Structure 1
């Protein structure tokens, strides 16, 4: 009789566990950290056009993933590297206004990261290059008394695809990451 009960409970248990599965892909290995930085909304770019002080300025990537410059208008930035942005801007300028424009693009400020869950002050914070999950949690006021201090869940978008997975607190994060600190069980 006991075995029949166990056999009947297995499909229920499987259905319950299937509902816990996430549609997000697992967080890619740390090799993704070494890829060139890709721009996205919230990044601030310092653009210099040699000899053109009116065009040289700091521009923020807007919600649509573009920047808007005088004379040439909107230029898509989402997913591009700084070198690709230099080429896009130079191409647009050379098509109508300047011959052989010399353009440099550098990231003046990275987009923010977010910390949620069992921390003192959850919210949005400024990213600093080389930041680890532990540093990000420290910026948000540190762990709450109920926090799991070993592993944190991170959501990250890479090339338009959302990834989610657990990392240890000593691993690096990227701009735009969302860090979730869970509650410990005991």
Structure 2
């Protein structure tokens, strides 16, 4: 009987091992979390919310929102998109509600989280030090927010010479804003993500990426992919000044793409889609658009929760297609790969069980 149980356990382990989900790798919002939504300079849009058992929050302006497994930044971006129809460039912060004796330090710091201290209050700079200080490349030290009881106390410029001590009390939230984050892609010398102070011109963004690749990049049809999913085409002169004056700005979350002046650009769509293959594009497109080119539908056995983007540098980014179809971008030369949804290999399971039963019968004889 003992051997029989061992073989049955082995057969069932084949199913359990293949169905085990991958580790999230980072903290994500879950049921029971308490969050504070803060819209800077618009306190009437602020609200404290509790993540319900079904993974949703109820925000008075947008209704029920599914936040289960989202990061704080992903939820912030979702709220910004939802509020854009009501406010101009809403500045939204999402912070966990700290315990009474803690201060929460978040945003662009080395180790965001809750930190306790013994005294009645602590200096703002010391609070930042508890969280590993601000990140040098991405932190906007001209916009360090102090939030108390859900309301913005003040925004401090910590690049100025140190003045009087800024007191942070238990239960306060310190939030370091991110510099304007933009991406420059395509036929430039050093494509990548850059952090700058405030919106910048297209010419300045190109200079950050080392300028265009000689005889390849086209200044006549640069593309700006806005954070809201819209697309604009602009033209620059050889000295990177705009043909249109003033130049249209590259803002937070935007992508500036330099197409190849001579080569047709393509993206690959592979895996469990109706028509896998290479598809021509004009600059970066959303993953949803790339899949539309491949037949406008994925197969029934496709795993929508784990869709992979193989980047130009060989790295692989995983997205949830149900949530990020319109926001995740794939660039020319990159690949979208749709994998199969997990299915139990019943022939393998039955074969293993049958083998276990047969061996047990032989042992009994």
Q: Under TM normalisation by the shorter chain, which class is it? A: 0.3 to 0.5
RCO higher in 1 or 2 (8 Å CA, sep ≥ 6)?
1
Indicate the structure (1 or 2) with the bigger Cα radius of gyration. Answer: 2
Q: TM-score of the superposition, structure 1-length normalised?
A: 0.46
